[in-house]
Amino acid sequence: MEPDPLDTLRRDPQPPLDLERRVVAAVKAAGGFGAPQAGRSFVRQLAAAVVIFASGIGVGLAWPADPGAVTPPATSVGSFLLLLGGDVTPASDGSSRAAEYGDWARTVAASGIAIRGAELADGGRVVSARGPSAPMAALVAAGGYFIVDVETEADAVALAESSPHVKNGGSVVVRRLEGR
């Protein structure tokens, strides 16, 4: 059974229970409820409107932030795929270079750049009506990937160049992810 699409909608927290009481009290204090008096009706209504408006701003500023909300970045950031391919020189002791890649990714993240990735399992298949071609065959041989959120393709290329994969003889394909 598929999940109900309505369940995925953002649910805003409920306003404070005493909000209505506070607004009514503020309007009453400003003389907003009661019989209008000649000459003062407009002034009182205007004062009540100002109090209600100011209360709304105050509640909005005091409202707790939704922890699930995503704050858009201040700059135009794009997501780029760094696809690791090609042969990499093995470590001198024959061990995996996973720790080296992990250290590099943690350094990138510590600099404020969002980065995520994974190592690809061995094997894989190319499915195509035309048969395997060199670029697709290279994808099968890829060793892993990273996705980074940076401002420009040049920034993504600079990260790729700094990666242990390139430093150890591999190649990195840098591609912008659409819609990001």
What does each of the 180 residues of the chain score in pLDDT, given as a tens digit?
666 666 666 566 666 677 777 777 777 777 666 655 555 566 666 676 776 776 666 666 665 555 554 444 445 688 999 988 877 787 778 777 788 888 999 999 999 999 998 888 877 777 777 766 655 555 556 678 899 999 999 999 999 999 998 998 888 999 999 875
Q: How far is CA 107 from CA 81, 139, 158, in A?
A: 18, 26, 14
> pTM for the full model?
0.52
So what's the architecture of 78-176 in CATH? 2-Layer Sandwich (3.30)
Going from N- to C-terminal start, the domains of the chain cover: 5-62, 78-176
How confident is the model at residue 149, as a pLDDT?
Answer: 94
The pLDDT value recorded for residue 162 is 94
